[in-house]
Chains A and B, each alone.
Chain A
Amino acid sequence: MTRGIPPLAGDDHLQGPSDAVVTLVEYGDYECPYCGEAYPVLKAVQRAMGPDLRFVFRNFPLVDMHVHARRAAEFAEAAAETGAFWDAHDMLFENQGALDDRSLAAYGDRLGIEPASIAAAFAGKHDSKIERDFLGGVRGGVNGTPCLFIDGLRYEGPRDVESLVNALRAVARQRL
């Protein structure tokens, strides 16, 4: 019944070479504790896969459950304007307990993001991108966060480094 998540687009946040054999997409919420747990795991997976993996993060903020999730997503999108998306992404996950506006402003300072750019983000500048990420995810079968897709197919297995690397390698082998 799933029609699949949207293909990679120009405004997606990517890590890894464009010709990587396999693509892992995470739909995540910066305030979701399970996404926080997955964060170091996914870093380790990226290290293990090296240039074979392209990693993509898409916004899936559950704003009724997590009061800071939307602002955190907006902050990361503001950071993307200055090429600091991944620094912001990492800083948010490494400081999940402090995502209030004052903390976000401090992270912005540290990353050299213009306060005006953060203010514009909070005023809704990136809402359409965030909503597009969210709805594309819902349509593609995201059923919670984090939700992982390997080459567009929802990954249902355990979220430890070994299982993920095995799953990614299995898909990569089919590609080669």
Chain B
Amino acid sequence: MTEQPTHISGTQLPPGERAPEFTLPATPDQRLSLAEMSGRPVILAFYPADWSPVCGDEMSLFNEVLPEFHKYGAQLVGISTDGVWCHAAFAAERKLHFPLLADFEPKGEVARRYGVYRAADGIAERALFVIDAEGIIRWSYVSALGINPGADGILEALESLSVPSSAEGAAS
């Protein structure tokens, strides 16, 4: 965990944009689409790779914070370019209670649509999106690859979703 400036690629889809639709494998025989999750807030957590050694381990942290996300009615999904079998082993080992989606073929297609694909490395950025019940991105954040962003930003975003915004008006 060395000190690094926060990397903001500047290319990730910003708040206010409609979240691009996708359908990705969640298990070897099940697929999950964003549309299926509509009506509730969705947290998309893009990450570089299963088994990657970010200290503190982001997915395990989110797993522990899951009950808190659920208090806001939010669903969490992890997305990386790993395949379903790799995801299955990783989720079982870490006892993850949320789906991991395989952005495997065409590789990184969904990460690309969200502006968080690192073409040179063939992996997704460590990026977070909070999408509201209507499918609008309300918060996005790209962390330095080696830095676990923690869950505080997600919780703040979820909190602001549940507070009716007076100044902004309706987003759609």
Contacts and interface: CB of A to CB of B under 8 A. Distances in A.
A138 B68 contact: yes
A65 B56 contact: no
Contacts of A3: 152, 156
B64 A1 contact: no
A65 B150 contact: no
Interface in A61-76: 62-65
Main secondary structure of the interface of A (DSSP, over half): loop
Contact of B141 (A1, A134, A140, A143): A1
A5 B68 CA distance: 17
Nearest to B139: A1
B93 to A, nearest CB: 10
B94 interface: yes
A2 interface: yes
A141 B94 contact: no
Interface of A: 1-3, 34, 62-65, 134-135, 138-145, 147, 156-159
Given A64-B60, A140-B152, A143-B149, 4 more contacts: A62-B60, A65-B60, A138-B151, A144-B56
Question: What 7 A-B pairs come out closest when comparing CB atoms?
Answer: A144-B56, A143-B150, A143-B148, A64-B95, A1-B153, A141-B152, A141-B150
Interface of B: 1-3, 55-58, 60-61, 63-65, 68, 94-97, 141, 147-153, 155-156
